[in-house]
């Protein structure tokens, strides 16, 4: 049965990657794969000998001796657990995307557009790369990607040029999220699991993460796509006197989310809902104040009488949300059977021990690097969850820092290997194989360069 489940996952995964060739939206195979995997698990529950408890990050003991009813109860609880965790991400994503759309309703991104005076493609690349690197550490890589691609859409009209920038934003956002405890879901897991502390995480990963971002950006700056200047179009967009206010309020509300999480210890989506409520309140107030429009068009009067929140919600990319649901729940199915845990355990036992004198543990650097590469193919969350159950090293052991780096940045090599990539794929309709050919090799070089930097720092200090 396990073999059949893996085959279904691989077939579904291929259908997602071949979306443009098959002419089938990627959300369809993702949702079908999720439903079929869990259905087969329910039918064949009595034949499984292992089960992974995601709450405790460990395999259940004596699972094979449980009765049918008890196994079904565990399956239902596990399904509910993963749906809850996935829904946390989806609700957070909905909140962030709605705030971004509300800002756009008031044309708030025109404020940032006015700040960027340069038309040089190379300079704009560096500006967005550093913005992604810093913002992702503050508001997490997922939200940073949403915000920056939204701004990018206002600055660069040509999509063929814009997707190149989106690809480098993914690399920079994932690199920036790796050195911050709130920058990526995997580093947050390690932080909450008392495996790393904020100060030591920043100390050990800031420079490797910076290298992981700078080197691909430097190489990309010499590519033809980033030569010359962007085309300047006449600005015919409507303007609102509240645009700047909504931009600053919206971004401040997003930055408030990690602060809320730190103070209350509640999941990030709770803070995002509070932020959305605050931004929506001001949006309704400003909307009632009659938006000042520089040029009157056919839609102006209609927009003046509509709720900006309702307008923002109609523009949310629901197909991307459903795709996210399908792919995360499908990976959760493989995780629940302990397949990912056993895979990581096999790597641990089967690889030669390299660098043990430097790390002081029996885990090799090669295994951690392979986990990073694996996070590009399989979601990094279950891989890190498996590592939490596998290793018993103390807090701030350099093993945990290396896992945080590898899992956080390795996903950049494939566009569906990270949350930032999945969101960018949905927002810009980026082809899987285009990203693999044009951006994947840059991400791989950056990943290796950062890993070498980490190992050199560890050896020297």
Question: In terms of Cα–Cα distance, which of 10, 273, 231 is closest to 124?
Answer: 231
Q: Which range of residues forms the domain containing residue 108? A: 1-461
Question: In terms of Cα–Cα distance, which of 398, 397, 396, 401 is closest to 384?
Answer: 401
Please count the CA atoms within 13 angstroms of the CA of 315 that sit on its side-chain side.
Answer: 17
Question: In terms of Cα–Cα distance, which of 218, 6, 54 is closest to 129?
Answer: 218
Contact yes or no for 415/437 (Cβ under 8 A): no
> H helices of 305-397, where?
308-314, 318-336, 339-350, 356-359, 365-377, 380-390
> What is the Cα gyration radius of the chain?
23
Q: What is the pLDDT of residue 119?
A: 81
| Interval 251-279 mean pLDDT | 87
Global pTM?
A: 0.73
Please count the CA atoms within 13 angstroms of the CA of 129 that sit on its side-chain side.
Answer: 25
Contact yes or no for 413/447 (Cβ under 8 A): yes
Write the pLDDT tens digit of every residue in 318-333: 877 888 788 878 888 8
Q: What is the pLDDT of residue 359?
A: 41
How crowded is residue 14: how many other Cβ atoms within 10 Å of its Cβ?
11
In angstroms, the CA 301 to CA 214 distance is: 47
In angstroms, the CA 58 to CA 428 distance is: 38
Q: What is the pLDDT of residue 344?
A: 61
Contact yes or no for 368/402 (Cβ under 8 A): yes
| First-last CA distance in the chain | 48
Residue, of 94 and 116, whose pLDDT is higher: 94
DSSP for 232-272, please give it: P--------TTHHHHHHHHHHHHHHHHHHHHHH---HHHHH
Residue 298 pLDDT level (bands cut at 50, 70, 90): very low
For the chain, the average pLDDT equals 81
Write the pLDDT tens digit of every residue in 168-210: 999 999 999 899 887 887 787 787 667 888 888 888 999 999 9
The number of folded domains in the chain is 1
Q: Which are the contacts of 358, defined by CB distance < 8 A and separation ≥ 6?
A: 398, 455, 458, 459
Which two three-digit tokens encode residue 359?
């790390």
Write the pLDDT tens digit of every residue in 219-264: 999 999 898 888 765 555 556 678 888 888 988 888 888 788 878 8
In angstroms, the CA 169 to CA 188 distance is: 21
């Amino acid at each position: 049965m396990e073999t059949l489940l893996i085959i279904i996952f691989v077939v579904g995964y291929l259908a997602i990657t071949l979306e443009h060739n098959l002419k089938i939206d990627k959300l369809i195979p993702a949702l079908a794969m999720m439903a079929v995997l869990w259905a087969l698990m329910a039918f064949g529950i009595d034949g499984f000998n292992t089960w992974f408890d995601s709450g405790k990050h460990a395999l259940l003991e004596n699972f094979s001796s449980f009765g049918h009813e008890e196994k079904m109860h565990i399956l239902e609880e596990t399904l509910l657990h993963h749906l809850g965790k996935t829904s946390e991400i989806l609700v957070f994503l909905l909140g962030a995307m709605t705030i971004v759309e509300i800002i756009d309703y008031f044309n708030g991104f025109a404020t940032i557009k006015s700040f960027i005076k340069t038309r040089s493609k190379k300079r704009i690349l560096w500006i967005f790369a550093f913005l992604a690197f810093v913002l992702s550490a503050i508001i997490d890589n997922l939200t940073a990607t949403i915000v920056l691609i939204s701004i990018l859409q206002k600055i660069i009209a040509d999509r063929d040029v814009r997707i190149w920038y989106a690809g480098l934003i993914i690399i920079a956002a994932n690199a920036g999220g790796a050195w911050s405890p709130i920058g990526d879901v995997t580093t947050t897991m390690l932080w909450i699991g008392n495996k790393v502390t904020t100060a030591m995480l920043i100390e050990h990963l800031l420079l490797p993460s910076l290298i992981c971002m700078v080197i691909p950006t430097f190489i990309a700056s010499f590519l033809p796509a980033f030569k010359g200047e962007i085309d300047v179009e006449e600005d015919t967009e409507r303007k609102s006197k509240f645009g700047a206010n909504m931009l600053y309020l919206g971004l401040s509300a997003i930055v408030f989310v990690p602060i809320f999480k730190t103070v209350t210890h509640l999941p990030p989506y709770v803070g995002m809902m509070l932020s959305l409520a605050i931004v929506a309140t001001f949006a309704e107030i400003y909307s009632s104040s009659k938006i000042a429009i520089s040029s009157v068009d056919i839609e102006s009067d209609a927009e003046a009488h509509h709720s900006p929140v309702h307008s923002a919600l109609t523009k949310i990319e629901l197909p991307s949300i459903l795709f996210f649901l399908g792919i995360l729940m499908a990976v959760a199915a493989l995780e629940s059977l302990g397949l990912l845990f056993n895979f990581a355990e096999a790597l641990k036992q089967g690889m030669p021990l390299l660098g043990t004198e430097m790390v002081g543990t029996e885990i090799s650097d090669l295994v951690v690097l392979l986990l990073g590469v694996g996070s590009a193919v399989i979601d990094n969350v279950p891989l890190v969850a498996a590592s939490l159950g596998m290793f018993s090293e103390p807090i701030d052991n350099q093993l945990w820092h290396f896992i945080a780096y590898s899992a956080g940045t390795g996903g950049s090599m494939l566009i569906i290997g990270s949350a930032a990539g999945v969101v960018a794929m949905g927002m810009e309709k980026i082809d899987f194989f285009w990203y693999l050919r044009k951006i994947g090799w840059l991400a791989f070089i950056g990943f290796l360069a950062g890993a070498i930097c980490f190992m050199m720092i560890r050896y020297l200090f």
